[in-house]
Structure formats: structure tokens, C-alpha cells
Amino acid sequence: MKHVFALAFGILFLSFASYSQADCAGVEGGSALIDDCGDCHQAYVYNFITHAVTFVDVAD
């Protein structure tokens, strides 16, 4: 009985461990956030030399 319980718990844990939610921009595991006004903002990197903006889906 202990083995069945351990197996069921392991399967349940693994099914939730790989689950990631979509952020407000619709990217799975993304880093976009909603501000106080309700607008969705995605993370970006700004290049001070070229003044180019590169949007980042997942900021690790």
C-alpha cells in the first residue's frame, strides 16, 4: 500500500512540477506584469548606444 501511495504522490508531483502559467502577454512562464492601471508590460533591454529596444519573453 505504501508503494501505491508513493507512486501516486510522485506522479501528482511531477504533473504539477512541469506546469507553468502564461503571463499577461500570453507567454508560458513569461515575465510580463500588469501595472496598477491594468496595462500589461513586457520586460525589455534598452541599448544606450543604438537606442534600440529588445523585448524579452522570459527574464531569467
Gap between the Cα atoms of 21 and 50, Å rounded: 34
Q: How confident is the model at residue 46 (pLDDT cuts 50, 70, 90)?
A: very high
Per DSSP, helices labelled H in 1-60 are 2-17
Is residue 11 within 8 Å of 18, Cβ to Cβ? no
pTM above 0.85, yes or no: no
Q: Examine the pLDDT at 52 and tell me if it is beyond 90.
A: yes
HSE-up of 20 (CA within 13 Å, CB side)?
11
Q: Which pLDDT score, from 0 to 100, does residue 40 have?
A: 93
How large a percentage of the chain has pLDDT more than 90? 30
- Amino acid (1-letter code) at residue 34: I
* pLDDT at position 17 over 70: no
